[in-house]
Structure formats: structure tokens, C-alpha cells
């Protein structure tokens, strides 16, 4: 089982879109995949049509584990668009204060994930910040995947994230950067090409996915309908790009 955090300090860069559609692409290749939404905004949960008012969510599970109650992640498991999901809720926003005095709080999610046995891949959709939730995700992960828009401000955000990544590496020495995924990419735009080139110079070409996710309205429409892109429109550019990304992901990992 491989655990992959999808993370970036900046919001709106395609973390949730990538978590949903990369998981769906792997499911279509008969891989067993779980997605964990640990963003208090619950965008992934809502994008799959799951209500954020469910009785059990990742918030419930984290609190129970932290305070010694018997629990497991699959207690909150739901299925949406054919995907296995541990949903988030708005209550998760208070978890950092609630766990402030808990010993080993950065290991809580890691302990829960160790109980899982039946999945090939676990994706964690992280909040756009380096708080306790993102640290929990990175400590529990084998790899981190960073989507970003091919523009200079998002590039700076990604580089800033990697400075903190080195600090988290002290808590999880096995954590590796799997790579960067350029989102809303337009091959005609000079800025997009320059950002790609700068990333490749900084991190070598093998850390920048060759597959870029093009701007495609079908991706937004699919989330509005609570679907992954393959279910919504398997012939769209979004489906083509995420199919290519899925195959490249498998080669990299």
C-alpha cells in the first residue's frame, strides 16, 4: 500500500480535482483506492456529492483515536461516484485546538492508516496550509504530490511548501517528493512554458510530470454533478489528461 499526500500551500490549484480523478483513473485500472479528505473546507467531500453533515467523518475518527477510543478509519467510509472516501466536515476546523495538548498528535493519522490492509493506494487531500492536519498527512505518507498552476505566484507557493517539507522530513524520513503536476496548462502560453522550464531546472525533469492537465470546463462540471471526469465525460480533454496522468503516475511510483 502506498500513501500519497496531495498538497500545496495555495488553494485553488487543483488538489481536489487531482485527488478525485487520479483515484478514479486508478480504479478504472482495477486498483483498490481510498481517498481521505482532511481539508476542513470539505471541498472533495462536497465535490462527490457527500453531505458534510454525516454522523461520522474524519473529524470524529481523529478525535476518538487521539483520546484513546477504539476506532478505525473505515468507520467513516462512504462510496461516491464508485470511489471509497473518508469524508471531511466543517467541524475539522477546530481539531488543531482540540488536539493541542495530545502527545504524539502528529502521528494520529499515521496510526489509523496503518490499520488499513485492502488498498493499493491511499490519497490524502490536504488543506492549503502547513498546520497539524497537513503535518499528520505528510507523516503518514510515502509520497507527496504537488499540483500547481503554471504561473509564477503559484510556483513561489510550491517552493515555499518544499521548505517546510524538509522540516517534516525529520518526522518522516521515508517521505519522498513524487513530483509536480501542472494544472490548467496551455501549451500556447509563454508563461506556462517558462514556469515548466523553471521547475525542471530547479528539480530535474523527472520531478515534473510530463502529463499536464489542460483547462477543461468538463472537470468543473463533473464536480458540480458529484462525479469523477470519467463518469461525467470519458471523451473530454479532462478525461484524456487524467488517463495519461494515471499511467504516468504508475510508472513513477
Predicted local distance difference test score (pLDDT) of residue 52: 58
Residue-wise pLDDT for 66-118, tens only, equals 888 889 999 999 999 899 999 998 888 888 788 878 888 899 999 999 999 89
Retrieve residue 161's grid coordinates: 511548501
Proportion of the chain above pLDDT 70, given as a percent: 98
Which 3 state secondary structure label does DSSP give 86?
A: strand
C-alpha span between 19 and 14 (Å, rounded): 8
The sign of the CA dihedral 41, 54, 26, 131 is: positive
250 Cβ contact list (under 8 Å, min separation 6): 26, 29
C-alpha span between 37 and 32 (Å, rounded): 17
The string of DSSP codes covering 18-46 is HHHHHHHHHHHTT--EEEEE--TT-HHHH
C-alpha span between 87 and 190 (Å, rounded): 39
Which among 213, 212, 235, 233 has a CA at the least distance from the CA of 224? 233
Domains along the chain with CATH numbers = 2-252 (3.40.50.300)
Tens place of pLDDT per residue across the chain (253 aa):
999 999 988 788 899 999 999 999 999 999 999 999 999 999 999 999 997 567 789 999 999 998 888 899 999 999 998 999 999 988 888 887 888 788 888 999 999 999 998 999 999 999 988 889 999 999 999 999 999 998 888 777 777 777 777 788 888 999 999 999 999 998 889 899 988 988 888 877 689 999 999 999 999 999 999 999 999 999 999 999 999 999 999 999 9
Residue showing cell 498538497 = 7
Question: What angle do the packed helices 190-203 and 152-168 form, to 10 degrees?
Answer: 20
Amino acid at each position: 500500500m502506498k500513501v500519497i499526500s496531495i498538497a500545496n500551500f495555495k488553494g485553488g490549484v487543483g488538489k481536489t480535482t487531482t485527488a478525485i480523478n487520479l483515484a478514479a483513473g486508478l480504479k478504472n485500472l482495477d486498483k483498490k483506492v481510498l481517498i481521505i479528505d482532511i481539508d476542513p473546507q470539505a471541498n472533495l467531500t462536497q465535490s462527490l456529492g457527500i453531505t458534510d453533515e454525516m454522523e461520522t467523518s474524519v473529524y470524529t475518527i481523529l478525535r476518538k483515536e487521539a483520546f484513546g477510543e477504539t476506532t478505525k478509519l473505515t468507520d467513516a467510509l462512504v462510496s461516491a461516484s464508485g470511489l471509497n472516501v473518508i469524508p471531511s466536515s466543517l467541524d475539522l476546523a477546530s481539531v488543531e485546538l482540540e488536539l493541542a495538548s495530545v502527545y504524539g498528535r502528529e502521528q494520529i493519522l499515521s496510526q489509523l492508516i496503518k490499520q488499513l490492509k485492502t488498498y493499493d493506494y491511499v490519497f490524502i487531500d490536504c488543506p492549503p496550509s502547513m498546520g497539524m492536519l497537513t503535518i499528520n498527512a505528510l507523516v503518514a505518507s510515502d509520497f507527496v504530490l504537488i499540483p500547481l498552476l503554471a504561473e509564477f505566484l503559484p510556483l513561489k507557493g510550491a517552493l515555499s511548501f518544499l521548505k517546510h517539507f524538509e522540516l517534516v522530513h525529520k518526522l518522516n524520513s521515508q517521505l519522498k517528493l513524487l513530483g509536480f503536476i501542472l494544472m490548467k496548462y496551455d501549451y500556447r502560453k509563454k508563461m506556462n512554458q517558462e514556469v515548466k522550464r523553471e521547475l525542471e531546472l530547479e528539480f530535474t525533469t523527472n520531478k515534473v510530470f510530463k502529463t499536464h492537465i489542460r483547462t477543461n470546463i468538463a472537470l468543473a462540471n463533473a464536480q458540480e454533478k458529484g462525479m469523477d471526469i470519467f463518469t461525467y465525460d470519458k471523451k473530454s480533454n479532462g478525461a484524456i489528461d487524467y488517463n495519461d496522468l494515471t499511467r504516468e503516475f504508475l510508472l513513477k511510483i
